[in-house]
Amino acid sequence: MELLVGCTIIILYFLYKRYFPVFGVQYIHFNDLELDPIKIIDVRDYNELSGTPIEGTINIPIAYLKRNNNEIINSDLHLVASNLLEKNIGIRFLRKKGYKVLGYTIIKPNTLSCKENKLKIEMNR
């Protein structure tokens, strides 16, 4: 019985860490984003990133975040992810390392095109 309770607690912890929403971080659309005070971290996979790159961001996929988090400048951050799972894992990891994540944007593959270096973004329809 004690083993069952222990296993259940461990499973619930991992489910919480991945799928439970992160509170205190709001969705911000790129049109509403002020670029001066914050740095943008793009945690999308390289395959997804190649179709819709965003210039001026720090590109570190979730799989490499633990190994390459020293590339991130200690300032206010905005996270770009391709799904809710990447968003939750990325925000929790960055908070654990002491970074302040102000917001996030979820970009689905092939829905974004960038022009210039100031993140003028148009949604493809």
pLDDT digit of tens for each residue in the chain (125 aa)? 889 999 999 999 988 888 888 888 899 887 777 777 788 999 999 888 777 778 888 899 999 999 998 889 888 999 999 999 999 999 999 999 999 999 999 987 655 444 333 444 444 43
* 97 SS3 class: coil
Place of tokens 């461990």: 10
Residue 12, amino acid: L
Whether the Cβ atoms of residue 52 and residue 109 lie closer than 8 Å to each other? yes
> Exposed, middle or buried by CB within 10 Å (0-12, 13-18, 19+), for 3?
exposed
* 77 SS3 class: strand
- pTM value is 0.75
Instruction: Residue 47: give its domain's CATH number.
Output: 3.40.250.10
Identify the domain containing residue 118 by its residue range.
2-123
Separation of alpha carbons 104 and 11, rounded Å? 27
Look at residue 124 in the predicted model and tell me its pLDDT.
42
Q: How many domains does the chain have?
A: 1
Separation of alpha carbons 89 and 97, rounded Å? 12
Look at residue 101 in the predicted model and tell me its pLDDT.
93
Separation of alpha carbons 67 and 110, rounded Å? 28
Helix pair 2-19, 84-96: axis angle to 10 deg:
100
Look at residue 111 in the predicted model and tell me its pLDDT.
53
